[in-house]
Amino acid sequence: MYVRKFYFLMFPVFFAVLCIACKGTEESLIAKGAELTLVSDEYAFTEGPAVDAYGNVYFTDQPNDQILKWSEANGEVTVFMKPAGRANGLYFDNEGRLLAAADEQFELWRIDVEGDRNIEVLLSQFQGKNLNGPNDIWVDPSGGIYFTDPYYQRPWWDRSAKEIEQERVYYLPKGSKEPQIVVDDFVQPNGIIGSPDGKKLYIADIGDKKTFSYDIQDNGLLTNKKLLTEMGSDGMTMDNKGNIYLTGDGVTVFNMEGIEVLHIPVPQDWTANVTFGGKDQKTLFVTAMNSLYTLEMNVSGVR
Domains annotated for the chain, with CATH where assigned, are: 43-251 (2.120.10.30)
What band does 93 get if pLDDT is binned at 50, 70 and 90?
A: very high
Q: What is the pTM of this model?
A: 0.92
114-120 mean pLDDT: 88
Contact 152, 160 (CB under 8 A): no
What band does 115 get if pLDDT is binned at 50, 70 and 90?
A: confident
190-201 mean pLDDT: 98
**∠ at Cα 246 (99, 185), nearest 5°?**
75
d(CA 11, CA 178): 43
Whether 20 shows a pLDDT value over 80: the answer reads no
202-229 mean pLDDT: 98
DSSP letter (8 states) at residue 198: S
pLDDT for 16: 40
Whether 87 shows a pLDDT value over 80: the answer reads yes
pLDDT for 1: 56
SS3 assignment, position 121: strand
pLDDT for 27: 56
Whether 12 shows a pLDDT value over 90: the answer reads no
Nearest to 131 by CA among 185, 90, 84, 189: 189
What band does 116 get if pLDDT is binned at 50, 70 and 90?
A: confident
Whether 256 shows a pLDDT value over 70: the answer reads yes
Whether 79 shows a pLDDT value over 50: the answer reads yes
SS3 assignment, position 269: coil
Contact 272, 249 (CB under 8 A): no
DSSP letter (8 states) at residue 6: G
